[in-house]
Amino acid sequence: MSMAPFRVHNARDLGAAVRYFRAEAHLSQALLAEQAGVHRTYLSDLEQGQATAALDRLVRILSELGVRITIGPAEW
């Protein structure tokens, strides 16, 4: 796969990565949500970049540590 890695600075970035890899896997939101054991609306909110308190805290903590999250395919 030749796509650049997703650098996650906020919920919007994470949502874009989830949406991209879900589409690459040819999965609907409903099917991925079922497989992951979450409600489809949660997955939809995540893909739309809606932040949760837990995600905001995690990103803030990592930022304070000077750490960045990078998401890529498992075979990287």
Is 1 a residue whose pLDDT tops 50?
Answer: no
pLDDT reported for residue 10: 86
Burial 41-63 (b: 16+ CB within 10 A, else e): eebeebbeeebeeebeeebeeee
Considering the domain 6-70, what is its CATH architecture?
Orthogonal Bundle (1.10)
Residue of 36 and 76 predicted with greater confidence: 36
